[in-house]
Amino acid sequence: MPADDGRDRPRGEKGREAFRTISEVADELDLPQHVLRFWESKFSQIKPLKRGGNRRYYRPDDVMLLRAIKALLHSDGYTIKGVQKLFKAQGLRSTVAQALGLEDDASTEQPQPANTEPEADAGKDEQIGDEVTDHSGLKDLLADLKAIRARLN
């Protein structure tokens, strides 16, 4: 896949991987900015980059997460506590894929990661805080996220 060097998009338009300001994300999701700030206080998974003056810059993955939260709250009728429970029970990646209707596509479209690491640690689990991270599934997770990103763009 060729790199997004900016030659294929109109002048002034951001690339897929570019960070978005809160106003850009609010416009894209058709939500007021204060709702995004409120959700940030309720969902620890939303972590925009904050720069000088507390300006928020959202990564593409943050925007995808916000889109999934909006779908769960507004379309599927979940409460904030209900969405939090879904994230805890099903996992963030699975819940986002399900909310955005990407579950089937993510499992069939498995692009290979550009840089592959040796699989020496593939079967090892690592304790991080209260979570156990399964390293053997990280490549699958990366492939799923790339497929989701490709569908969103």
Token pair belonging to 21: 């300001």
Question: What are the structure tokens assigned to 150, written together?
Answer: 């490709």
pTM for the model stands at 0.59
Class of 20-111+124-152 in CATH: mainly alpha
Q: What is the Cα–Cα distance from 52 to 36, expressed in whole angstroms?
A: 19
Per-domain residue ranges for the chain? 20-111+124-152
Cβ-contact 42, 85 below 8 angstroms = no
Each residue's pLDDT, cut to its tens digit, for the chain (153 residues) gives: 455 554 555 555 677 778 999 999 999 999 999 999 999 999 999 999 988 888 999 999 999 999 999 999 999 999 999 999 999 999 999 999 998 888 644 444 444 434 434 444 444 444 444 455 555 566 677 777 777 777 776
Q: For residues 35 and 25, what is the distance between their CA atoms, to the nearest angstrom?
A: 11
* Rounded distance between C-alpha atoms, residue 29 and residue 21, angstroms: 12
